[in-house]
Structure 1
Amino acid sequence: MKPFYVRELSVYPVGSRRIWLLSVAVLASLVANFETTISTILPLLMKDLGMTLAVYGQIAAASVLIGGLSAGFGGILSDRWGRVAILVPTLTITAACNFLLATIETPTGLFWVRCLMLFIEGAGITITASLVRDFSPRLGRAQAFAFWTWGPVGAAFLASLIASTTLPLFGNHWQSQAIIMGIVSLVLCLVVIWQIAEPSAALRAQVMQAESAVSGAEKVDPGKVRELFRHPHLWAHVFGNTGWQVLYWTFTIFGVAILNEAFGLETAAANGVVALGIVLNALAVIAVGRLSDKFQLRKPFTAAGTLLTIVMLGYYATLIDSGASAGHVTVVYALMFLFMGIAYVPWMANFSEDAEDVESRLQGAALGIWGMVVRVMIVVLLVVSPLVVAASGWRTWLLVCLAGQVIFLASMAAFRGRWRVRREAAPKAAV
């Protein structure tokens, strides 16, 4: 017997119905990212708990590793049990854990609560990506994943907006933010529960080139995960993109610190530079997603974006200790984020389609394995990058990031898909 909140579609949704369900999946991505955001209260939290940055780094590394394991298993289970049956409980329980977070008084308490939250959240984020795939035919897949990437961006913006507005009202007590985030997350969860639905297993197993109202049988063999391990080009996707992610997560975690320590920008100014980069990235992913779908090409956009990122990152590294003006640094940083957006969304569509061609029933497992490997990389980054920076500075670590970009570029040789537009007219892209 299925839970009350599971609405399984036996006919593939089309038109405004599909767009709406895709929007609900993107909202679920925002909720999953928002309810575990801690950066807005981290300085206050560290001061109140008497916790050093090194101790927090260890807590973050351990919790992210646990979240990685959850992402892998959550994706596999979602292929077998359904997306919504797992997604809704993970979103709701993680939201409630924010009230538990508000009660902690020691770093040990923070460790256990964060491990619990990220273990639950890891599966949720993976499943939102699977849902986006389920509601996006290939003619609109890159655009759909572009909107999915707005989940983390929207979560960071929402958390910052709430913190800047409400912290002064509650005497700058970090506990107030944990409680507010719990309340907001639960309200958003109710919206998701009210509106969410998913295609049946039979519909998920079909490869949809364009939007059409098709139906499928009730029961389908979910497939065997080991089938994914037999295809080297899928591993090239997973490990190649993990190399690309080293730069993304370096900027996500240390972007402000690099601008402050290596370029001398004040914290407020550094946050402004980061915000500009995020805005350009958000615009770039939508534009390139539209073009990628229009021409049904993935690899050329990914390769071009990666090459431009490599060039700009190398130049960015040379600017350290060069006395470059704040305006100069701002332009270079913003262009890097724009180029990263050009590379990322077509790759997501490419990976989804390549995994789909291997075994369409195992989309959740493929995305889950990728999410697990990326989170293991984040753990290594959290542990290793401070040591490298302490020994030889930020320029050296940025060169490590550049090497990751080169690995990603080289891995594209194994990806499937075309490099050129077919001779016939390109089909019209779906949203």
Structure 2
Amino acid sequence: MTGRRLFYERELTEYPVGGRRVWFLFIAILANFVASYEAQISPVLPLLMRDLHMTLGQYGEIASISVVASAVSAMIFGPLADRYGRVRFLVPSLFLTAACVYGMVLIHSVTALLIVRIILAFIEGVAIATTAGLVRDFSPRTGRALAFGFWTFGPVGSNFFANAVAGATLPIFHTWQSQFVIEGSVALAACILILFSIHDLSPQLRAKVIDSVEEVDAVNRQVRRDQLEEPRMREILRVPHVWTLTMGISLFLLTYLTIQSFGTTFLVQAFHYDTSQAAAIAKYFWLLNLATLLIAGWISDRLRLRKIVSFVGAVLSVLYMFYFVSLVGQTIPEGQMILYTSLLGGLFGVAYGPWCALFSENAEDIKPSLQSAAWGLFGFVIRVAGIAVALCLPVVVALGGWGAWLTVSAVGGLIYIPLVFTAKGPWFRFQRPMLPMSESQVPNVED
């Protein structure tokens, strides 16, 4: 199934334990951070729009076209990663993306920006499915939510890091080109470390459901006896609650996608901060978001409950969103705005971290070896939501202002709340399953 291995492919035939497992998990999280950081453009978007004489609508079109490329990539490489291994596709994609980031420095027209962003997005789409698969592979269920909390350090931490770097260095260098030189250099250094450190589990190990580290010895013994079944994408696609979970969280994350792509621009236009101020404020959304992702993940792991934690976070997020809408257009001191944006990011983290573990475990209950396929589907759907943001946001903002768009995003979050009820798993009491299980022992969850 795996074919001939490439020079950077290293496969584990026994499940790692202790610090070794944590190291492999860290490398997977670092890879996701690098892939997400290389795609960052929001902190310098106002400067880029000015120098290229580009309107918000034009950038929305560029973003939507590039997101299509990323969505297609996630759907293609998710199933391939389940069949041939995560590392085979992840490592070259990281190096190619680093080269494209350096190429951003040479951009002098809207057309050139479009071409480079399409290439970047297609390569970046590989990362979400492959790294999510690796995080699942190296995290037993007892620590799954916390592990995915760290995994979200990719898109979340990279946004915080990019905004922090821009806030600190733009007053020194004064050019958007400087930010892409910094991005490319940081990414290239990390890629070299990943190249020599990253590992895959064998297909036999990827086909196991591991509840806790105490079961590793039993898993390693069982692997030697099991027959391997070929993973098929359609086994994920035909399960209704996989779709409701992915569509629901994608609607919930409309605000997240807005801050990710237009955060600095939003603060500049809606509250009249300058670009460096706006970038510095935006980083606090991501800082508290990261903190609550980890805290909520830890609580979810301790309770072994995913749905109730995500549900509470979603309800609080939506209520606060409607309050946040009322602030648009007001003159708000910088320190106060930091508090408002931090709280917004923090509440989103409470809902999103446990959802990641919920989705991973629901997909695992269908077929353990289809993790990358499931996350490829998520990558596709979340990017469709990104296309909607890129195309609709400029129109809505032009017609009704930023407050109107944030209201639309809040309604998206509201739709997610009832869809949580479609997920499999306990609400208030966890019952320990009889694990480890082979794929043939996983119960049928389609009914």
Give me the TM-score of the superposition, normalised by structure 1: 0.91
Distance apart, 1:335 and its partner CA? 2.1
> Hey, what's the Cα distance between the residues in 1 that align with 2:280 and 2:167?
15
RMSD between superposed Cα atoms in Å: 2.4
AA at the equivalent of 1:298: R
Partner residue in 2 for 1:365? 373
Work out which of the residue numbers 113, 129, 138 in structure 1 matches 2:141. 138
Partner residue in 2 for 1:156? 159
CA distance 1:391–1:373, change in 2 (3 Å)? same
Does 2:350 align with 1:342? yes
Partner residue in 2 for 1:186? 188
> Hey, what's the Cα distance between the residues in 1 that align with 2:421 and 2:155?
29
* 1:24-423 paired onto structure 2 within 5 Å: 24-160=27-163, 163=166, 172-211=174-213, 212-213=216-217, 214-215=219-220, 216-217=223-224, 220-265=228-273, 267-321=275-329, 330-422=338-430
CA deviations on 1:294-352 (whole Å, 9 max, x unpaired) are 11000010010011111111122233356777666544432222111110010010000
> Hey, what's the Cα distance between the residues in 2 that align with 1:109 and 1:267?
23
Range with bigger deviation, 406-415 or 324-333: 324-333
CA distance 1:268–1:90, change in 2 (3 Å)? closer
> Hey, what's the Cα distance between the residues in 2 that align with 1:76 and 1:54?
34
AA at the equivalent of 2:79: I
Residue aligned with 2:106, SS: coil
Range with bigger deviation, 22-31 or 207-216: 207-216
CA distance 1:162–1:139, change in 2 (3 Å)? same
CA distance 1:232–1:288, change in 2 (3 Å)? same
Distance apart, 1:44 and its partner CA? 4.1
AA at the equivalent of 1:335: L
Range with bigger deviation, 55-64 or 134-143: 55-64
Distance apart, 1:97 and its partner CA? 1.9
> Hey, what's the Cα distance between the residues in 1 that align with 2:338 and 2:93?
38
What percent identity do the matched residue pairs reach? 41
Residue aligned with 1:87, SS: helix
Distance apart, 1:49 and its partner CA? 3.4
Partner residue in 2 for 1:8? 11
Number of aligned positions between the proteins: 423
Residue aligned with 1:136, SS: coil
Contact preservation (8 Å) 1:316, 1:329:
no
AA at the equivalent of 1:297: L
Give me the TM-score of the superposition, normalised by structure 2: 0.87
Distance apart, 1:175 and its partner CA? 4.1
Distance apart, 1:290 and its partner CA? 0.8
CA distance 1:274–1:185, change in 2 (3 Å)? closer
AA at the equivalent of 1:185: A
CA distance 1:345–1:219, change in 2 (3 Å)? same
Instruction: List runs of 5+ in structure 2 lacking aligned partners.
Output: 433-447
Distance apart, 1:103 and its partner CA? 3.1
Does 2:25 align with 1:22? yes
Distance apart, 1:224 and its partner CA? 1.4
> Hey, what's the Cα distance between the residues in 2 that align with 1:81 and 1:69?
18
> Hey, what's the Cα distance between the residues in 2 that align with 1:256 and 1:373?
25
Partner residue in 2 for 1:429? none
Partner residue in 2 for 1:428? none
Distance apart, 1:25 and its partner CA? 0.6
Contact preservation (8 Å) 2:264, 2:275:
yes
Instruction: List runs of 5+ in structure 1 lacking aligned partners.
Output: 425-431
